[in-house]
Chains A and B, each alone.
Chain A
Amino acid sequence: MKKAISLLLTLVLAAGSFALPTFAAEDKIQVTEDISVSADYDWTRFKGQGVSLNVYNWGLYISDGSDESVDVISAFEELTGIDINYTTFDTNESMYAKLKSGGAVYDVILPSDYMLGKMANEGMLLPLNKENIPNLAGISELYLDKEYDPGNVYSVPYMWCMVGITYNKDMVDEADLEQGWNLLWDPRYTGQILQFNNSRDCFAMALKTLGRSMNPTSTQDIDDALVKLQEQKPLVQAYVMDEVFDKMEGGEAALAPYYTGDGLTMIAENPSLGMFIPEEGTLQCVDAMCIPASSQNQEAAEMFINYMCEVDVALQNALFVQYTSPVEAVRELLPAELRDSELMYPDPALIERSEYPSVISDELNSAMDMAWSQMKSFDDTGNQWLVPVFLLVAIAMTVFNVWRRRARKKRRQMY
């Protein structure tokens, strides 16, 4: 049944797209071989004014010309005459710290959902002037007006993905996939499970198996999830983030929850891998473009955001990053295996059942941090004695050394 629906949807989308290129081709400005932008926008109003934009994005998260991709940044510079100073960060938290400390002024940043909500609450973002971002109209309804930014006052989504479970087809019985998230608690896969090294995602999964919302709402939720995670710990081979690529591609583990976009990358490297999204629903994540309150070039920054939502640009980025682009027209232009992928474009009903990480209170956040470190240090083997024993040995050696030196000194004095 669901297959039939998705087939129907694909057909409808495909039918819609037949009309698109014909009228689009006329009013386009060709910037490079691969990139044309709509002519119905004043791209050149900052030309020759020496405007430069500081863009702060995740590492390896834009089509930058490496690995035979198209360089979308230099195409923007060529088109508009605006100079882009493009730099990258590795976590939401380090980006937040950098902005909060006042150590740098950025014009465009790309935080994830929950961090975006937090920054908006703290007044760190500028409301967007949507007249300067007409391409907002091309973004699918599925990704707009979400709880992290109601009405998209501050943000335009850039990339979207879900949390799914990667599995090795040679090691996992496909019938077991029915279990959904509980598969990660299945003792038959002891020592073959990789888990996120990140508290938010781990607690979300534990809460889901308890039948609750993936966002903790009370300290009771956190306590219960902690029990669940401690129960899982003996089954887990390691808590990892990007090491998951090597471990799964090298066949060192059987199961690993991770982001769908990255799952596609892993499957491309090693065809014996697969990925599925548990039917009961999952976390969805979005990275969105915003303008920090300290920016001095709001209009130019909005032009950059509008450019990033151009179909050709979004397509190149989607091809490079392999995450889902919220720009609707991109889907039809992707190669068939991505266009029809259940991972890149999951069933809308499944998206409906899924949640975004919400902004949680500081109190819950610190309770979760505490529980997380408690879980990580929770260990029923002898390892917990290693550190004190090591310390004792070190102290004993120091004492012995001091004693020997003193004895030698005494002996010398005797003669």
Chain B
Amino acid sequence: MKKQHLAALQKVYLCLIFSFLYVPIAVMMVFSFNESKSRTLFTGFTLKWYKSLLHNEMILEALWLSLVVAFLAATVATILGVMASIGISGMKKRTQGVINTVSYLPVVNPEIITGVSLMMLFVVYVNVAHWLNSNPSVPGFLKFLPENIFGFGTLLIAHITFCVPYVIFNVAPKLRRMDVRMYEAALDLGCNPRQAFFKVVLPELMPAILSAFLISLTYSIDDFIISYFSCGTLQTLPIAIYSMTRKKVSPEINALSTIMFVAILCIILVSNALESRSYRKKRIKE
């Protein structure tokens, strides 16, 4: 009897947790089909917000910028991060600890500090470049620094900066668990170090690298605060959405969020399906 009660309680708890996670998204999806702009009354079904989203250049441009920056930042950060973790794994235990702590700091540091300090760095750079370019006593070959840097470049640098630590923390543990003898065996069997890296180490690390890439991608698309300080006159998607809140969040945003949610859901479903199929194939072979 008592056990039954407990089981029921467990189910209720589970339902509660999942509804906290998914009811807001469901509400948003429902209201993306709302005829009126109201966020409280559902007045009728319409697809007009999806249609007008396709014509809203500001939102689409912001989305495009977010995607491009995320993709580039994640790619560069993954490459840098993988190189860094391989370098770290070759260090002495003591230095490893120090380096790990130092690269962990930006992760626990409040984002606003990272954002403001990056912006200040860029502003200092602009001032130095301006001084160099406008001072007559500076020799001409030093006058090559561009002054107007705020924009895509600074945004990309900022995003790479905060993505690299996440990559290190995904790849480094995998590297630590990897058997060093595999690499040595590859060398023994006639690989040169480069071949051994690309044929043995990299495939072994691939799952961790992939997940690091995806994490960087999501963090980059998600980021508001750091982008806000370093984007110059550009606008990423979160900034565009935030600045709309003076009046009302346009239902176009609901439509856009719904599309993004469905897209991500599809990606997850497909990747899971592929994984389970390859797993089943493996079992049949055995």
- Check if A and B associate: yes
Known: A101-B119, A104-B232. A249 touches B38 (CB 8 A): yes
Chain B nearest CB, measured from A213 CB (Å): 27
Taken residue by residue from 54 to 65, chain A's Cβ proximity to chain B (1 for < 8 Å, 0 otherwise) reads as 101011110011
B residues 138-159 with Cβ under 8 Å of A?
148, 150
* B122 near A65: Cβ-Cβ < 8 Å: no
Contacts of B38 in A (CB 8 A): 246, 249-250, 269
Give residues 95-138 of B contacting A (CB, 8 Å). Answer: 119, 122-123, 126
Question: Once the chains bind, are A105 and B150 in contact (CB under 8 Å)?
Answer: yes
* Contact B52–A59 (Cβ < 8 Å): no
Nearest B residue to A245 via CB reads B248
Residues of B within 8 A of A241 (CB): 246
A241 to B231, CA, bound (A): 27
Q: In the complex, which of the residues A86, A90, A105, A246 contacts B242, with contact meaning CB atoms closer than 8 Å?
A: A90
B57 A64 Cβ-Cβ under 8 A: yes
**Distance, CA A61 to CA B239, complexed state (A):** 16
Residue among B57, B122, B242 making CB contact with A103, cutoff 8 Å:
B122
Q: Which B residues touch A64, using CB under 8 A?
A: 56-58
User: Assuming A64-B58, A66-B52, A66-B56, is B247 touching A88 (CB within 8 A)?
Assistant: no
Q: Is A68 interfacial (CB 8 A cutoff)?
A: yes
**A85–B150 alpha-carbon span in the complex (Å):** 14
Chain A residues with Cβ below 8 Å from B48 are 68
Q: Roughly how many angstroms separate A101 CA and B58 CA in the complex, as a whole number?
A: 25
Given A66-B252, A269-B38, the answer on whether A242 and B55 have CB atoms closer than 8 Å is: no
Q: Point out the residues of chain B lying under 8 angstroms from A246, CB to CB.
A: 38-40
Query: Within 8 Å of chain B (Cβ to Cβ): is A102?
Result: yes
Answer whether residue B36 sits at the interface, using C-beta atoms and an 8 A cutoff: yes
Say whether A66 contacts B243, CB under 8 Å: no
Contact present for A60 and B250 (CB under 8 Å): yes
Q: Please pick, from B39, B232, B246, the residue contacting A59 in the complex, using a CB distance under 8 A.
A: B246
Mask, A71-91, CB within 8 Å of B = 1, is: 101100000000001111111
CB distance from B155 to the nearest CB of A (A): 11
Known: A65-B57, A66-B252, A250-B38. A102 touches B123 (CB 8 A): yes
Contact of B247 among A56, A60, A101 (CB under 8 A): A60
Q: How far is the CA of A91 from the CA of B228 in the complex (A)?
A: 14
| B192 sits at the interface (CB 8 A) | no
A284 to chain B, nearest CB (A): 18
> Within the complex, what minimum Cβ distance (angstroms) separates B84 from chain A?
29
* CB <8 Å contact, B245 and A242: yes
Cβ of A59: which chain B residues have Cβ within 8 Å of it? 243-247
| Interface Cβ pair total, 8 Å cutoff | 99
Is B234's CB under 8 angstroms from A87's CB? yes
Which residues in chain A, 378-395, are within 8 Å of chain B measured between CB atoms? none
Judge if B41 is at the interface, Cβ distance under 8 Å: yes
Task: List, in ascending order, chain A residues with CB within 8 A of B52's CB.
Answer: 65-68
Choose among A56, A65, A249, A262 the residue that contacts B56 (Cβ–Cβ < 8 A): A65
In the bound complex, CA of A249 to CA of B40 (Å):
8
A68 to B37, CA, bound (A): 13
Residue of B nearest to A89 (CB): B243
How many B residues have CB within 8 A of the partner chain? 36
In the complex the two chains form, is B40's CB within 8 Å of A242's CB?
A: no
CB neighbours (8 Å) of B245 from chain A are 59, 90, 242
Residues of B within 8 A of A89 (CB): 243
Q: Is the CB of A103 within 8 A of B243?
A: no
Q: Are A88 and B56 in contact (CB under 8 A)?
A: no
Q: Which residue of B lies closest to A321 (CB)?
A: B247
Question: Once the chains are docked, how many angstroms separate the CA of A60 from the CA of B36?
Answer: 16
Residue from B55, B122, B243 having most chain A Cβ neighbours under 10 A: B243
Asked if A43 lies at the interface with its beta carbon under 8 angstroms from chain B, I say: no
Point out the residues of chain A lying under 8 angstroms from B148, CB to CB. Answer: 105
Q: Are B247 and A54 in contact (CB under 8 A)?
A: no
The complex places the Cα of A74 from the Cα of B235 at a distance, in Å, of 18
Q: A65-B55, A68-B52 are in contact. Are A87 and B248 (CB under 8 A)?
A: no
B 27-51 to A, binary, CB cutoff 8 A, 1 in contact else 0: 0000000001111110000001000
Least distance between A229 CB and chain B CB atoms (Å): 23
Chain A residues in 8 Å Cβ range of B126 = 102
Query: How far is it, in angstroms, between the C-alpha of A58 and the C-alpha of B244 when the chains are bound?
Result: 8
Is B229 in contact with chain A by the CB < 8 A criterion? yes
In contact, B246 and A90 (Cβ under 8 angstroms): yes
Q: Which residues of A contact B57 (CB under 8 A)?
A: 64-65, 71, 73-74
Contact residues of B between 214 and 251, Cβ < 8 Å to A:
229-235, 239-240, 242-248, 250
Complex Cα distance A60/B126, Å?
32
A residues less than 8 Å from B239 (CB atoms): 87
Known: A66-B55, A71-B57, A103-B122. A60 touches B248 (CB 8 A): yes
Interchain CA distance A56-B232 in the complex, whole Å: 11
Give the distance to chain B from A93, nearest Cβ to Cβ, in Å. 12
Report the bound CA distance from A197 to B242 in whole Å: 18
A148 beta carbon closer than 8 Å to chain B: no
Complex Cα–Cα for A245 and B150 (A): 36
Query: Which residues on the A side are within 8 Å of B55 (C-beta)?
Result: 65-66, 71
B interface footprint on A305-318 (CB within 8 Å = 1, 0 otherwise): 00000000000000
User: Can you give 10 A-B contacts (C-beta < 8 A)?
Assistant: A60-B244, A85-B234, A88-B243, A90-B243, A103-B229, A241-B246, A242-B248, A245-B247, A249-B40, A250-B40
* Supplied contacts A59-B245, A105-B233, 14 more A-B pairs, CB within 8 Å: A59-B243, A60-B248, A60-B250, A65-B52, A66-B52, A68-B52, A87-B235, A87-B240, A88-B235, A88-B240, A88-B243, A101-B123, A242-B246, A245-B247
Mark A residues whose CB is within 8 Å of B. 54, 56, 58-61, 64-68, 71, 73-74, 85-91, 101-106, 241-242, 245-246, 249-250, 262, 265, 269
What are the 10 tightest A-B residue pairs by CB atom distance, in nearest-first order?
Answer: A88-B243, A59-B244, A250-B40, A59-B243, A54-B233, A87-B235, A104-B232, A66-B56, A60-B247, A90-B243
